[in-house]
Amino acid sequence: MKEVAFIRQNKSKWQEFEQFFASNHPKNPDEMAHLYIKLLNDLSFAQTYYPKSKTTDYLNFLVSQIYRKIYKTKRLERNRFWNFFRTDVPLLMYKQRKTIWVTFAMFLFFVILGAVSARYDDTFVRLILGDGYVNMTLENIETGDPMAVYKSGGAVGSFIGITANNIYVALRLFIFGVLAGIPTLYIAMTNGIMLGSFQYFFYEQGVFVESLRGIWLHGTMEIFSIIVAAASGFILAASVLFPGTYSRFHSFRIGFKESLHIILSTLPFFVAAGFIEGFVTRFSNRMPLAVNLAIILGSFLLIFFYYMLYPFIVAKRTTGRKKLDTQTGYYKV
């Protein structure tokens, strides 16, 4: 069919569509859906036989208009926030489970490296932590309060400052993934080495148990969240470096969305860690050991379960009901 005949045959119908959309009367969803299908058929025909025609552009405009009419008032799920943590993030963690586990193993290696370096080099701890911090900690140990550094400043100010700093570090780990993940690796390495050398320093000074009771009250959620943040940076880096069958830009879009969702999931844990460090850690040497261990173990079980085990449960539960949308990188029904 020639384009002129195609236009003449459908012109009146398209004009009715325009009048329908221009009116301010409430639109019946079923009627709009029916019109959408009819317009989509016309657009498909035009794209096949007149791909560079203004008629095709015009029909594409009409289709986009009705699409917005249908979906602009689409009600969001009331429990969308809950589903984000209950389903969306666990499924992403399951999809990226290899990256998470590799990042965890890599961070553990850096922690061990820091401890071993501190063991065989007496100057290593001062090189990593600085003379000022080491001297201050030695003074605290001599006065019988190795964790005194966590008691300085007000509880509220410490909570806000610590939480903000941890989130800042996490965001850097995430966003530096665009630079092939090299800065992300460096930050993860320095944090791991610092943690390992720091813990060995307390062991060497004979206050290892006291340090565990103090540092890991908040450190359990904080360190684990840092590892997840590093993994999000590596996921972003992989989307840039290894686009697979996608264009590099499209792969980056998928990787960015996935990484962003993962990094957002760590925010509640960073807030919880900051709260514990600001309000609870300062009492670590005065609280009963059972309470201390309960907080540490409870924190570990919570975050380990959510990021390492729960994704397998959600993935198994949704098998056959959800599949990955390869165009967006998200799971859908």
First-to-last CA distance in the chain? 40
Rounded (10°) CA dihedral 152, 153, 157, 160: -20
297/38 Cα distance (integer angstroms)? 60
pLDDT of 243 higher than 70: yes
pLDDT recorded at residue 45? 83
d(CA 58, CA 61): 5
What average pLDDT does the segment 292-309 reach? Answer: 95
Long-range contacts of 19-24 (CB under 8 A, 24+ apart): 21/65, 21/66, 21/69
- pLDDT (mean) for 201-221: 93
Assess whether pLDDT exceeds 50 at residue 21. Answer: yes
What integer pLDDT is reported at residue 324 of this predicted model? 46
Q: Which of 44-48, 212-216, 296-300 has the highest mean pLDDT?
A: 296-300
* pLDDT at residue 40 tops 90: no
pLDDT value at residue 109: 98
Q: Where are the domains of the chain?
A: 3-71, 86-332
Which pLDDT score is estimated for 19?
A: 74
Say if residues 251 and 123 touch (Cβ distance below 8 Å).
no
Q: How does DSSP classify residue 323? A: E
- Residues 253-277 have pLDDT tens digits of 999 999 999 999 999 999 999 999 9
- Looking at residues 180-191, what average pLDDT do you find? 96
- Percent of the chain scoring above 90 in pLDDT: 58
Q: What pLDDT does residue 307 have? A: 96
pLDDT category at 71 given cuts 50, 70, 90 is low
Give the Cα separation of 329 and 261 in Å (integer): 11
pLDDT band at residue 68 under the 50/70/90 scheme: low
Task: Return the biggest CA–CA distance within the chain.
Answer: 95
Please state, rounded to an integer, the average pLDDT across all residues of the chain.
86
Give residue 320's pLDDT. Answer: 47
295 touches 257 (CB < 8 A) = no
